[in-house]
Amino acid sequence: MTDSIRIGVDVGGTFTDVVLVTPGGLFTAKVPSTADQSEGVVAGIERACARGGVAPEEIDAFSHAMTVTTNALLEGTGAKTALVTTAGFRDVLELARQDRPDLYDLDTERPQPLVPRRRRFELEERATPDEIEQAVDETAVRELAGVLDDREVESVAVCLLHAYAHPENERCVETILSDELDVPVSVSHDVLGEFREYERTATTVVDAYVTPVIDSYLRRLEARAAELGVPAPSVMQSNGGVVTASTARTTAVTTALSGPAAGVVGATATVDVLEADTAGAVTFDMGGTSSDVGLVRDGGIERTTGASINGRPIATPMVDVTTVGAGGGSIAWVDAGGALRVGPASAGATPGPACYGRGGTDPTVTDANVVLGYIGSDTVLGEELTIDADAAQRVMEDLAAEAALDGPLAAAQGVYRVVNANMTRAVRSVTVERGYDPRQFVLIGYGGAGPMHAAELADRLDIDTVVVALPCGVLSAYGLLAADEKHDGVRTHKRRIDDLDGGVEDAFEELAADVRSDVTDPDAARVERSADLRYAGQSFELTVPVDDPLSPEALCERFHTAHETTYGYRMDEAVELVSLRVTATIEREPVSIATDEGGEEPRTGTRRAFFEDGFHETPVYDRRRLSPNSTVSGPAILEQPACTTVIPPTWTGTVHENGTIVLSRNP
């Protein structure tokens, strides 16, 4: 256990989770998320410190994950943004890839561009991948600055043709606009140094759109933290690494999946308790609003170089997470055909599920779990929120009447099955649909509601092992303490593998130098290299590691193997190098989880809980009192302040030394 005092705070759609690590142990808190997320963060810090018996000013390090970027994109609350681009490319955002999300749906409505056409401006300039053919006219840029000032724009995105290869014109535009305007300017060669005009433009626009929002939020948070005596936060990025708040301000787009990435990092810290060889782990985070599913394979987190939020493509490195609108607060409803549906709308933290007793009137997944007996009327969530079981019964009765079901229990069963089916499809999308057999993986369940549903999902997927860490209800916040500092760089460098020269190593060195300049301690940084490769004629690439020094033969064989693993075959075609990637990492001191040796009687009572074969008089345990190496046979319910773990009758749980419980399906 480290002697330093560290705190991690993750803001979710419903709750804000906090993990505090001190020399005396690990302490958690869960408070409702607030409209101004910094208010909930401060409340969570104060509560965790009170439980840990430390003053906020004693905290040595503060790490933070947020949903500010995601909310701005989903709710359309970003900055009033302008786009400056090369003449003739004004409409790239709307032309996109000229495809339809659903091939046969002629009525599909695309989301409106973040920058309307009236705020997109063209400049006469021209670059090719090889050279600058026409320099930008500085007088024209200054005139444009006056127009942007008159339009009262709050942020500017600059994306010029082929600026990834020759950024000179973009740098000129950036310098002039920054001098003339008092607004942030995002330039594409810094945001995403890759080819493909649409993705580069869209990603740069997202960065410009959310930068003022992120900057404003972090300034409020830093001010509130300073009032408490807490250090400025490190901020989780989508790639699973943290950076300083000042860096996050200048690379706002990299925070799009901040919270889900922290959860996957936290989940990977629990995998080492497994003794059996597995193909990896499926991470399953079920919170109040949504469920996030990821994959850990070959000892590492699966990552991607592109995703989409609300139809907005973001082509930056990020943890590969699939999200579905299925959480504890997801609202159950009946569609026009009479079918029972769950989500994606959520009751959130306010008013929340009906059983919270805060005025909620919609039936939710949490209300169904109360009726099924997994959550009791005597359960206290977060050590302060009591359960109104009668309210849960009433909304389930109303849902049963609307869906023509036989009473509240039938409605609760239906909600439970539907939401589990939704989440099972999400797991299959990251396993079966990518050629992986889920039976060869373990399932790591976390989030406020994840451990309650994890064993049921495992049954549906034929997974034999479920892992539930001790801080499972706040595992994303725990992941913040386990995350390394991480910085990514990318640059398009198109070459045939059989035509490589020293220019590739030179480009790698330049890219590595750029990335090292961003880290807090360049001498301590570990630099890893990779490259995007494809067969000649293909449109998309696979990313594979690159040795130092580079070996074309080894790189080519590595790509063939990756292609065969991903698609089931390899080709006798020339291989092309498309983009170079560099990641600089500074490893942080790992966080241990200290557990009590038990002593108090862990069993606190019994509760009637419904499983597939009917009601069982089910033992209820205080999970924190379970001794290491003890076992719990199902059916059982394990309660702790931040979450509840349900062990069905056909499962058995074993407690490991660090408090992690491994659930095994009975033979």
Strands 575-586 and 542-545: unpaired
Rounded Cα distance between 190 and 199, Å, is: 14
Q: In CATH, which of 3.30.1360.70, 3.40.50.1370, 3.30.70.330, 3.30.420.40 is domain 6-73+215-255?
A: 3.30.420.40
Taken in order 403, 408, 413, 419, the sign of the CA dihedral is: positive
| Cis peptide leading into residue 32 (ω within 30°) | no
Confidence of residue 1 (pLDDT cuts 50, 70, 90): very low
Rounded Cα distance between 45 and 65, Å, is: 14
Residue 98 scores a pLDDT above 80? no
What kind and span of H or E run contains 143? helix 138-150
Side chain identity, residue 370: V
Contact between 621 and 630 under an 8 Å Cβ cutoff? The reply is no
**Contact partners, residue 518, CB within 8 Å, separation at least 6:** 243, 247, 487, 584
Contact between 516 and 489 under an 8 Å Cβ cutoff? The reply is no
Domain ranges across the chain: 6-73+215-255, 78-213, 330-418, 485-586
Residue 504 scores a pLDDT above 80? yes
Residue at token pair 């408090």: 659
Given CATH 3.30.1490, say whether it is the number of domain 485-586. yes
Contact between 640 and 469 under an 8 Å Cβ cutoff? The reply is no
Fold match between domain 6-73+215-255 and domain 78-213: no
* 514-562 residue pLDDT tens: 999 888 888 889 999 999 999 998 988 999 999 988 889 999 999 999 9
* Main-chain dihedrals φ then ψ at residue 468, nearest 5 degrees: -130, 105
Token couple for 20: 């505090």
When pLDDT is averaged across residues 432-453 and rounded to a whole number, the result is 90
Token couple for 36: 């101004």
| Cis peptide leading into residue 351 (ω within 30°) | yes
**Contact partners, residue 545, CB within 8 Å, separation at least 6:** 528, 529, 530, 558
For 123-149, give one letter per residue: b (16+ CB within 10 A) or e.
bebbbeeeebeeebeeeebeebbeebe
The CA distances from residue 517 to 244, 252, 514, 573, 584, in Å, are 13, 18, 5, 38, 10
* Main-chain dihedrals φ then ψ at residue 550, nearest 5 degrees: -70, 135
| Cis peptide leading into residue 635 (ω within 30°) | yes
Partners of 647 in beta bridges? 636
* 153-184 residue pLDDT tens: 999 999 999 999 999 999 999 999 999 999 99
Lowest-pLDDT range of 218-227, 232-241, 344-353, 458-467: 344-353
Rounded Cα distance between 325 and 589, Å, is: 35
Rounded Cα distance between 205 and 478, Å, is: 32
Lowest-pLDDT range of 214-218, 282-286, 295-299: 295-299
What kind and span of H or E run contains 407? helix 407-430
Lowest-pLDDT range of 108-112, 147-151, 485-489, 614-618: 108-112
The DSSP-derived string for 571-614 is -SS-EEEEEEEEEEEEPPPP---------S--EEEEEEEEETTE
* 608-625 residue pLDDT tens: 999 988 999 999 999 888
Side chain identity, residue 532: D
Strands 312-314 and 614-622: unpaired
**Contact partners, residue 158, CB within 8 Å, separation at least 6:** 83, 84, 85, 170, 173, 174, 177, 185, 186, 187, 188, 204
* 87 Cα distance to chain centroid: 36
Residue 595 scores a pLDDT above 80? no
Name the percent of the chain in helix, strand, coil, to the closest 5.
Answer: 35, 30, 35
- Minimal CA–CA distance to 640: which of 469, 416, 435? 469
- Minimal CA–CA distance to 368: which of 382, 383, 347? 347
Confidence of residue 288 (pLDDT cuts 50, 70, 90): confident
* 363-411 residue pLDDT tens: 999 999 999 999 988 877 766 678 899 999 999 999 999 999 999 999 9
Half-sphere exposure of 127 (CA within 13 A, CB side): 23
- Minimal CA–CA distance to 510: which of 185, 235, 189, 187? 189
* 329 Cα distance to chain centroid: 19
Kindly report the pTM of this predicted structure.
0.87
Side chain identity, residue 166: H
Partners of 30 in beta bridges? 17
Taken in order 535, 539, 540, 545, the sign of the CA dihedral is: positive
pLDDT of 664 reads 93
Indicate the average pLDDT of the chain. 89
Q: In CATH, which of 3.40.720, 3.30.420, 2.30.29, 3.40.50 is domain 78-213?
A: 3.40.50
Query: In the 3-class helix/strand/coil scheme, how is 29-87 assigned residue by residue?
Result: EEEECCCCHHHHHHHHHHHHHHHHCCCHHHCCEEEEECCHHHHHHHHCCCCCEEEEEEC
